[in-house]
Amino acid sequence: MKRMRNGLVGGGAAAVLTLAASCSNTPVTPTPTPTIDPPVTNCNVTPPTTAITPALLASGLPCDATIVPPVTLPNFQHGFDYYSWLTFLALNAPASGGVIGKDAPAVWERWKELSEVMKPDGSRPAPWDAPRTIPTACRGVGVPKGTRVLSMVGKTPDVLSATVQPFDTGPLIDQHGRYVRYEILMNRPMFEYIVQNDLYSKQGQSAFTATVDFPEGDVVEGTTNGTIGAIMVKASWMVLDKSDDAGAFHTTQALVYTPPQDNPRIEESCTGATLGLVGLHVAHKTAGAPQWIWSTFEHVANVPQRADVDAGKLAPHYNFHRANCSGCAVNEPPPRPWNPNVQPFPNGFTSQIVREVPITADTDALTKAFTGLLAGTVWRNYLLVSTQWPTEPQSPTDPNGVPAPAFLANTTLETYVQGTVPQASSSCMNCHGNAAATTGRTSDFTFILERAH
């Protein structure tokens, strides 16, 4: 059921008045405030018992996970993994319309990028439909208008405070010695919630006295009516060159921007490049999962699993692993200094990464079934690692909802914190449950608010 939060009403009834210029007789023009999470009528409520056929390609975005009995851990995990694939199909459909298939800018790639929301001067973000802003250093780079900007070189950039971000992850270096690039984007309900509550600045966050509570995706029982809720995406991209098989990746033309940094000194730089998608996190807050549902996908050629390495069953090529590399330190960050302007990485370093926690047989089978629908497209080359979901979303004693699986890592996004060690290995909910705004108050499972200035 649609819920309204923090006194912000929806349905288009609300309006704010745009003040006319002083000393002017210009009439006051009402500017409608967008509804934060408007009702939709096309929630994808396909149950996970549905046969995986091409009909699913056009089934749309789930507003929440549809789960059916029996109430067992394996069955629920299957249901959430099925939800993840439905979400993957919907979000990777072309932004211009149609169903998933061609290698075109996807739905999520038209969402708002983090740096456009949390601006260095703390100013109000441009409206949802405004064109992307380009860093000054990128303005002379000859790329098509509207080309995106990728600036992050690590999932946890320096601006994240050590008090709430327990993992100091390093950069990931591909087989060409280049840094993997990252971006964080959010859908419109999440963006509007931040903007309309002035959470894009420290000042606004200080004035916000309510508990941060992003809108939930929800479905009116027995219907396809509901709301989408907040969704955030984290993507990792590998710079491609002529020796890479670009046809095996979802690609994008992007401005690869390195912001200036002190200690160590890093010069601002920008260049145009073709990049291939190698990792994709999707986090979705829903009524059934107020701790959010965390789905994570990877390119199939990223890394081998530990068992494959131990058994010597290695493929000829991986994006982040070199076969027969004796003496290569496994799953260790590159030596410092980390300067993206110095590429390839000095001394021939490339990351030697192995997946520590194996993908389960059921999740693997689902990936095979869904990618079977995507034969002949670049999307056949992506796999679901797993989906983390709350087994007790209303638990009074565990605000993280007792997540299952207990640990989940994407080898391109949590490269160096894989494993099963409590409070040290990657767990989406247990990590993001510690997220706080600049005020020190909890920020509803996202570190985004901590980036405000």
Partner 1 sequence: MASDPMTPFVNLSALLTGITAAKLVPPLSPSTVPQQIFDTAKTNGGATFDQLLTIYADAVAQRMTDAQIANQVFVANGPDVRYLARSIMLAWYLGSWYDPKVLQAYDSPKPPPGPPSSVVISSDAYTQGWVWNVAQAHAMGYSNFTFGYWAKNPPALSDFTGATS
Rounded CA-CA distance 76/73 in Å is 5
Q: Which is nearer to partner 1, 303 or 431 (CB)?
A: 431
Rounded CA-CA distance 13/88 in Å is 33
Binders of partner 1 among residues 275 to 294 (CB under 8 A) are none
Name the minimum Å distance from CB 418 to partner 1. Answer: 17
Query: Is residue 302 within the footprint of partner 1 (CB under 8 A)?
Result: no
Query: Is residue 68 within the footprint of partner 1 (CB under 8 A)?
Result: no
DSSP string, 174-221: -TTSPBPEEEEEE-HHHHHHHHHTTTTSHHHHHH--SPP-PPPBEE-T
Query: Is residue 210 within the footprint of partner 1 (CB under 8 A)?
Result: no
| Type of residue numbered 198 | D
* Binding-residue total with partner 1 (CB under 8 A): 28
Return the residue of 33, 208, 434, 453 that touches partner 1, per CB under 8 A: 434
Name the minimum Å distance from CB 440 to partner 1. Answer: 7
Q: Which is nearer to partner 1, 115 or 291 (CB)?
A: 291
Query: Is residue 97 within the footprint of partner 1 (CB under 8 A)?
Result: no
Which DSSP symbol is given to 137? G
Q: Which is nearer to partner 1, 279 or 405 (CB)?
A: 405
Name the minimum Å distance from CB 7 to partner 1. Answer: 24
Rounded CA-CA distance 400/430 in Å is 6
Query: Is residue 318 within the footprint of partner 1 (CB under 8 A)?
Result: no
- Smallest CA-to-CA distance from 302 within 283, 315, 287 is with 315
Query: Is residue 400 within the footprint of partner 1 (CB under 8 A)?
Result: yes
Query: Is residue 76 within the footprint of partner 1 (CB under 8 A)?
Result: yes
Residues facing residue 296 across a β-bridge:
281, 386
Query: Is residue 7 within the footprint of partner 1 (CB under 8 A)?
Result: no
Rounded CA-CA distance 299/412 in Å is 10
Query: Is residue 394 within the footprint of partner 1 (CB under 8 A)?
Result: no
Name the minimum Å distance from CB 444 to partner 1. Answer: 10
Both tokens of 341, joined, read 């302007």
The answer to whether 95 touches 106, Cβ cutoff 8 Å, is: yes
Dmax (CA) of the chain: 79
Backbone angles phi, psi at 219, to 5 degrees: -130, 130
73-91 vs 361-372: helix crossing angle, rounded to 10: 30
Query: Is residue 358 within the footprint of partner 1 (CB under 8 A)?
Result: no
Rounded CA-CA distance 363/202 in Å is 41
The answer to whether 445 touches 292, Cβ cutoff 8 Å, is: yes
Who contacts 201 (Cβ-Cβ below 8 Å, separation ≥6)? 122, 123, 452, 453
Return the residue of 236, 405, 418, 431 that touches partner 1, per CB under 8 A: 405
Who contacts 394 (Cβ-Cβ below 8 Å, separation ≥6)? 401
Return the residue of 164, 220, 246, 314 that touches partner 1, per CB under 8 A: 164
Query: Is residue 361 within the footprint of partner 1 (CB under 8 A)?
Result: no
Query: Is residue 440 within the footprint of partner 1 (CB under 8 A)?
Result: yes
Strand, helix or coil for residue 357: coil
Q: How many CB atoms lie within 10 A of CB 296?
A: 26
Name the minimum Å distance from CB 432 to partner 1. Answer: 10
Binders of partner 1 among residues 123 to 142 (CB under 8 A) are none
Name the minimum Å distance from CB 78 to partner 1. Answer: 13
Both tokens of 192, joined, read 């509007």
Name the minimum Å distance from CB 364 to partner 1. Answer: 18
Return the residue of 433, 438, 449, 452 that touches partner 1, per CB under 8 A: 433
Return the residue of 52, 170, 392, 453 that touches partner 1, per CB under 8 A: 392
Query: Is residue 369 within the footprint of partner 1 (CB under 8 A)?
Result: no
Pick the piece of the chain touching partner 1 (CB under 8 A) from 52-60, 71-79, 249-257, 303-311: 71-79
Positions touching partner 1 (CB under 8 A) are 71-73, 76, 164, 391-392, 396-400, 402-406, 421-423, 430, 433-436, 440-442
